[in-house]
Amino acid sequence: MIHNPSISKFITACGYYIERCFLTTKQGYVGLAPLGSQPGDIISVILGCDFPVILRQDPSSGTKPDETRWKVVGVCYVNGLMSGEAIYGSLPSHYRAVRCTEAADDKKICGSACALLDSRTNDLKTDPAAVLKEFGIKPDVWSREPHRLEVSEAVLREVGVELRDFFLV
């Protein structure tokens, strides 16, 4: 067991990079992808997943969009898509994502000490449902423990979120 917090953080961080390669997208995003990723793969933020996913079109699938099948290459880290930006877009300039390790356990989301700092008020926003409401997105279900945040397809479409169905193989 490692008791030095600095060494523990270093070892944890190294684990994120094992079997990963850097990625860039046409939209200017950068991140880390599984080693098997290839040009032409797509990044998808799948509702309910904790991380964006790299998908590759199955070459044996049909040519029509509703016949297309996708293989899951693996999860990835993409700076700018890790905190819900695919749903609500870019954060307003007065918000900044921060780690708040001093946050009480009842304010953490899935045990994570992440929050948004509102520079206008210097308040930490730890309630994702309240933040989504600021963007005009009303969650259907929200509970902190167990963590559950659900927004209907209709609400997402209403606020202009591009949704697409994928047939995964």
Sign of the torsion formed by the C-alpha atoms of 67, 65, 77 and 33 = positive
Q: Are residues 72 and 100 in the same domain?
A: no
pTM for this model (two decimals): 0.73
State the virtual CA torsion across 54, 60, 63, 64 in degrees, nearest 10: -70
**Pick from 46, 42, 62, 66: nearest CA to 54:** 42
Whether residue 48 lies inside any domain: the answer is: yes
Q: Are residues 118 and 100 in the same domain?
A: yes
Per the rule left: phi > 0, alpha: psi between -120 and 50, beta: everything else, 89 is left
Each of the 169 residues of the chain gets a pLDDT tens digit; together they read 445 555 555 555 566 667 888 889 998 989 999 999 999 999 999 887 888 999 999 988 877 767 789 999 999 999 888 877 887 777 788 888 777 766 666 666 666 667 788 899 988 888 888 888 888 889 999 887 787 888 888 998 998 888 888 889 8
Q: Which of 58, 82, 106 is the C-terminal boundary of a domain?
A: 82
Show which of 31, 49, 82 is a domain's final residue: 82
Residues 92 and 158 in one domain: yes
Range of the domain at 36: 1-82
Q: Can you tell me the distance from the alpha carbon of 24 to that of 47, in angstroms, rounded to the nearest whole number?
A: 22
